[in-house]
C-alpha cells in the first residue's frame, strides 16, 4: 500500500454523538472501540476525535480543564490506550484534537492565576481597563459579546476570543509554549499518531494589544501573524516533528492560500495540512453567518478552484472537506437531501475525493445523514446557537424568524447522534441522548445502508481509487468550465494521464461539451456513461473519466 500523505483519508468522529456504550446518553470511547470494524470496512486511515479531555463542556470539550486526563463521560485513560492499540492493529491511527489557543477557566492554571499566582497570571492575557474604564480593547468574541471578561474582582480583564469560559493563552510566554509541547508529547506516548490543532492561527496575537478599526482589520491583529509560523516550527521541533509518521492538521480561521502554503510546505516543518473555511461561507449574506441566503455557486467554484490550484502550485497540502462538527451538513445545505439525497451525497463526495489533498469524511456522511430540522429552540444545545438566537432577537427578528436562521446555520445540525439502526434512539444509546436524534433515522441508518444502500459502497470505492491511482494523489489540478452556472469540473493530470471530473450541483439536467472523447468511464452516480462531445449531466450527476 502506498503510504504518502496524499493517499490517506481521515474520518472525523464527534465522540459525544458517535456511540454510547454505557447508556448515559453520551457517546464514549468504548462505543468507538465497538465500531472500529465498521470504520475499517469503510477503508479510512486516520480517526480524528474531537476533544475527549476533562471539560465542563461549555463548548463541548473545546474548553479543556485538564489536558492530560480523559473526561469520565468518555471513559478512562485505559479505554483510550486500548482504542489506540486496537485501531493501530487494524491499520488505523488516532488523531487527537489539541486546543492550545485557550483553556477552560476551570483549568488549574487559570484557577491559580485567579488566586493571585503571578506565574500563572502570565499564562493568559490579563490586562487593565483603559484609562477611561473601558475594556482593554474593543475586540469581539467570535461567539458574541466582548473579547474581555472581568478577571475575578481584581478590576482587570482576561481575553476570550471564544466563549467567556475559554481564556486565551499567551504564547509569547515561553513557559506556556513548553507546557503545551509537553501536552502533545504526553499524547504521543499514549498512542496518538496524529494531531488536529484547533484555531491554531490565532495564537500569535500582537504583543501590543490595540483597538481595531473594523471587523476585518480586527482579525488581522491576531490571525496569521508571522510569529505563528515561528511557534509552529518550534512546536513541530519539540514534539510531533520527531516522528515522521505523525500526521497533523491545523484549523485556520480566516486564512489565506499564501499562509497555508507556508504552514504546510514540507520543507517548512510546520504542519502536514490545513483546514480553511472560505468555501463554507458562500451562503452567508454579506459575510454574516446569521443571515440566510442561497449558496453563491459561482463563488463556491471560484474558492475551491483557487485553493486547489494555489496550494498545488505552492507545494502545500489542503485538507478537503464539506462537513465537520461546526458546519451544517452540506447535503442539506448545498444540494437536495430529499428526492435526490443519494445522488447528491455521492456527487458531493466525488467532488472532494478526486481533488488534490487529504479528504475528510465527517461521521454520518457515508450514509447520507441530513440536518435534523429541529422545530424548537429547546432542541438546540450549542452555546453559539443559543447566543446567536438571542442576538437575532435583539436585532429585531421575531422568534420564528430567528429560529429559521438557527435551523439553517446551527452547529448542532451535524452534531446529532449517528443513526445506527431503526431501534429506539437510532441504536446510538439505550436512553435519551444529550442531543436529539434526527427523526429520519428509521429510513436513514447504518444497518439499512449496509444492507441495501449505495452511498457507503461509493465512499469505499472513492477511498480505494485514491489509494490505487497516483493521479488522484499527485496529479496537478486544472479548473474546467469555469463559467458554467451548474457544473463544477476539473482536470487532474499526471504525465500523459488525465482524469476529468464533472459535477452537476443542481436538480436540472445540463449539457457540457467535450472536445476530446478519448476517455474511459471511471466512476459516477448514475452508472456507466460514455464520454461524448455533448455530455448530458442529469440532476446532481457526477462522472469521472480517465484518459485511455
Judged by beta carbon, residue 219 or residue 529, the one nearer ligand GLC is 219
Subset of residues 58 to 77 that bind ligand GLC, contact rule: CB under 6 A: 59, 62
Site size with ligand GLC, rule: CB under 6 A: 9
Supply the minimum distance, in Å, between the C-beta of residue 424 and ligand GLC: 29
Could you tell me the CA-to-CA distances from 486 to 295, 299, 490 in Å, in that order? 12, 12, 13
Burial of 123 (0-12, 13-18, 19+ CB in 10 A): buried
Whether the CB-CB separation of 25 and 32 falls below 8 Å is answered with no
Judged by beta carbon, residue 32 or residue 100, the one nearer ligand GLC is 100
- To the query of whether residue 117 is one of the catalytic residues in this protein, the response is no
The answer to the question of residue 198 lying near ligand GLC (CB under 6 A) is yes
Supply the minimum distance, in Å, between the C-beta of residue 59 and ligand GLC: 5
How many whole angstroms separate alpha carbon 368 and alpha carbon 454?
A: 10
Judged by beta carbon, residue 28 or residue 59, the one nearer ligand GLC is 59
How many whole angstroms separate alpha carbon 27 and alpha carbon 233?
A: 35
Supply the minimum distance, in Å, between the C-beta of residue 237 and ligand GLC: 25
Subset of residues 213 to 272 that bind ligand GLC, contact rule: CB under 6 A: 251
How many whole angstroms separate alpha carbon 54 and alpha carbon 74?
A: 9
Burial of 391 (0-12, 13-18, 19+ CB in 10 A): middle
**Strand spans (E) along 205-324:** 247-251, 273-275, 284-285, 288-292, 319-320
How many whole angstroms separate alpha carbon 28 and alpha carbon 26?
A: 6
Helix axes 226-238, 174-189, angle to 10 degrees: 40
Supply the minimum distance, in Å, between the C-beta of residue 143 and ligand GLC: 8
How many whole angstroms separate alpha carbon 529 and alpha carbon 197?
A: 42
**Catalytic hit among 28, 163, 170, 198:** 198
Supply the minimum distance, in Å, between the C-beta of residue 102 and ligand GLC: 7
Helix (H/G/I), strand (E/B), else coil: 132: coil
Supply the minimum distance, in Å, between the C-beta of residue 85 and ligand GLC: 27
Cell 493501530 belongs to: 88
Q: What count of other Cβ atoms lies within 10 Å of the Cβ of residue 149?
A: 18
The answer to the question of residue 99 lying near ligand GLC (CB under 6 A) is yes
Binding mask 462-491 for ligand GLC (x = CB under 6 A): ------------------------------
- To the query of whether residue 337 is one of the catalytic residues in this protein, the response is no
Judged by beta carbon, residue 231 or residue 502, the one nearer ligand GLC is 231
Helix (H/G/I), strand (E/B), else coil: 536: strand
Report DSSP state, residue 364: T
**Catalytic hit among 234, 251, 337, 384:** 251
The answer to the question of residue 326 lying near ligand GLC (CB under 6 A) is yes
Whether the CB-CB separation of 52 and 74 falls below 8 Å is answered with yes
Whether the CB-CB separation of 402 and 392 falls below 8 Å is answered with yes
Judged by beta carbon, residue 180 or residue 531, the one nearer ligand GLC is 180
Judged by beta carbon, residue 48 or residue 157, the one nearer ligand GLC is 48
Supply the minimum distance, in Å, between the C-beta of residue 276 and ligand GLC: 12
How many whole angstroms separate alpha carbon 224 and alpha carbon 227?
A: 8
Whether the CB-CB separation of 191 and 89 falls below 8 Å is answered with no
Residue whose CB is nearest to ligand GLC in the complex, by number: 62
Binding mask 144-163 for ligand GLC (x = CB under 6 A): ------------------x-
Supply the minimum distance, in Å, between the C-beta of residue 351 and ligand GLC: 23
Judged by beta carbon, residue 56 or residue 457, the one nearer ligand GLC is 56
Judged by beta carbon, residue 62 or residue 502, the one nearer ligand GLC is 62
Subset of residues 40 to 59 that bind ligand GLC, contact rule: CB under 6 A: 59
Q: Could you give the residue ranges of the DSSP H alpha helices within 106-173? A: 108-114, 118-121
- Catalytic positions: 198, 251
Contacting positions for ligand GLC (CB under 6 A): 59, 62, 99, 162, 198-199, 251, 325-326
Amino acid at each position: 500500500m502506498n503510504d504518502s500523505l496524499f493517499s490517506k483519508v481521515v474520518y472525523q468522529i464527534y465522540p459525544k454523538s458517535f456511540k454510547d456504550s454505557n447508556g448515559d446518553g453520551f457517546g464514549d470511547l468504548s462505543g468507538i472501540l465497538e465500531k472500529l470494524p465498521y470504520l475499517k470496512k469503510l477503508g479510512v486511515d486516520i480517526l480524528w476525535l474531537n476533544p475527549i479531555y476533562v471539560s465542563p463542556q461549555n463548548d463541548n470539550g473545546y474548553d479543556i480543564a485538564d489536558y492530560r486526563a480523559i473526561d469520565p463521560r468518555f471513559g478512562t485513560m485505559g479505554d483510550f490506550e486500548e482504542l489506540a492499540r486496537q485501531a493501530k492493529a487494524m491499520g488505523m491511527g488516532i488523531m487527537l484534537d489539541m486546543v492550545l489557543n485557550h483553556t477552560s477557566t476551570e483549568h488549574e492554571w487559570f484557577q491559580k492565576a485567579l488566586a493571585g499566582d503571578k506565574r500563572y497570571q502570565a499564562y493568559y492575557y490579563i490586562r487593565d481597563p483603559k484609562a477611561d474604564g473601558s475594556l482593554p480593547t474593543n475586540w469581539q468574541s467570535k461567539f458574541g459579546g466582548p473579547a474581555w471578561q472581568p478577571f475575578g474582582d481584581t478590576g482587570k480583564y482576561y481575553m476570550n476570543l471564544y466563549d467567556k469560559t475559554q481564556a486565551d493563552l499567551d504564547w509569547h510566554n515561553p513557559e506556556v509554549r513548553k507546557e503545551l509541547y509537553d501536552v502533545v508529547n504526553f499524547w504521543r506516548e499514549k498512542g496518538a499518531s496524529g494531531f488536529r490543532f484547533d484555531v491554531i492561527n490565532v495564537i500569535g496575537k500582537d504583543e501590543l494589544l490595540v483597538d481595531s478599526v473594523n471587523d476585518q482589520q480586527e482579525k488581522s491583529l491576531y490571525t496569521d501573524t508571522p510569529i505563528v509560523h515561528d511557534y509552529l516550527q518550534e512546536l513541530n521541533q519539540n514534539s510531533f516533528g520527531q516522528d515522521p509518521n505523525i500526521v497533523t492538521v491545523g484549523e485556520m480561521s480566516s486564512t489565506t492560500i499564501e499562509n497555508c502554503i507556508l504552514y504546510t510546505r514540507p520543507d517548512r516543518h510546520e504542519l502536514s495540512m490545513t483546514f480553511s473555511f472560505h468555501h463554507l461561507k458562500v451562503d452567508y449574506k454579506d459575510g454574516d453567518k446569521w443571515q440566510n441566503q442561497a449558496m453563491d455557486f459561482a463563488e463556491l467554484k471560484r474558492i475551491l478552484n483557487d485553493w486547489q490550484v494555489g496550494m498545488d502550485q505552492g507545494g502545500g497540502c489542503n485538507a478537503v472537506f464539506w462537513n465537520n462538527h461546526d458546519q451544517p451538513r452540506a447535503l442539506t445545505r448545498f444540494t437536495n437531501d430529499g428526492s435526490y439525497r443519494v445522488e447528491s451525497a455521492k456527487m458531493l463526495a466525488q467532488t472532494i475525493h478526486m481533488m488534490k489533498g487529504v479528504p475528510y469524511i465527517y461521521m454520518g456522511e457515508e450514509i447520507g445523514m441530513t440536518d435534523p430540522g429541529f422545530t424548537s429552540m429547546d432542541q438546540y444545545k450549542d452555546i453559539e446557537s443559543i447566543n446567536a438566537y438571542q442576538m437575532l432577537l435583539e436585532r429585531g427578528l421575531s422568534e420564528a424568524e430567528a429560529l429559521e436562521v438557527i435551523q439553517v446555520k446551527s452547529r448542532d445540525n451535524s452534531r446529532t447522534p449517528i443513526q445506527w439502526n431503526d431501534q429506539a434512539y437510532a441504536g446510538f444509546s439505550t436512553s435519551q441522548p444529550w442531543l436529539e436524534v434526527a427523526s429520519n433515522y428509521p429510513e436513514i441508518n447504518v444497518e439499512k445502508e449496509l444492507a441495501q444502500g449505495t452511498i457507503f459502497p461509493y465512499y469505499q470505492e472513492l477511498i480505494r481509487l485514491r489509494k490505487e491511482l497516483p493521479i488522484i494523489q499527485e496529479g496537478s489540478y486544472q479548473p474546467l468550465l469555469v463559467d458554467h452556472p451548474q457544473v463544477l469540473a476539473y482536470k487532474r493530470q499526471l504525465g500523459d494521464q488525465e482524469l476529468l471530473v464533472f459535477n452537476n450541483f443542481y436538480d436540472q439536467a445540463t449539457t457540457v461539451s467535450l472536445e476530446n472523447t478519448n476517455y474511459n468511464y471511471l466512476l459516477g452516480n448514475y452508472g456507466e456513461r460514455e464520454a461524448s462531445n455533448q455530455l448530458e449531466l442529469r440532476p446532481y450527476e457526477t462522472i469521472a473519466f480517465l484518459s485511455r
